[in-house]
Amino acid sequence: MQNPGILPRSFDLDEYQRDVTLVRQLEPLVLALGQLQGRLEDTFLAAGSDAYSQTLLVYQAAKLACKNGALEQHLDGLSRRFARKSTSATAAANIPSAH
């Protein structure tokens, strides 16, 4: 700093310079980690989408193969996962009762 005399006596110039140095050193790391986190989230979402699509195919194949009831208990769990909710049922569930 060119004019340290203008600062209050309680100002710790050495501490300030250490903080500025640390910020300059950490900045590229923070930026790199942010980019990595964005890429990781993109990969996570893509893998989740793929897994969901593949699970839906497994469910559909299992439904077709389940003519003898052998997979019925497993299909019940999957059917809840893939159940389509009607708009009117969802809207009715969100309306508070007048009681």
The pLDDT value recorded for residue 4 is: 72
pLDDT at 97 exceeding the cut of 70: no
Residue type, 9: R
Read off the pLDDT of residues 19-66 as tens digits, 9 standing for 90 and up: 999 999 999 999 999 999 999 999 999 999 999 999 888 888 887 777
pLDDT at 11 exceeding the cut of 80: yes
Name the pLDDT band for 90 (thresholds 50, 70, 90): low
pLDDT at 88 exceeding the cut of 70: no
> In angstroms, what CA-CA distances link 78 with 19, 35, 45, 58, 87?
55, 36, 21, 10, 21
Residue ranges in 1-99 assigned as alpha helix (H): 13-65, 72-82, 87-94
Predicted TM-score (pTM) of the model is 0.56
Closest by CA position to 60, among listed 45, 82, 43: 82
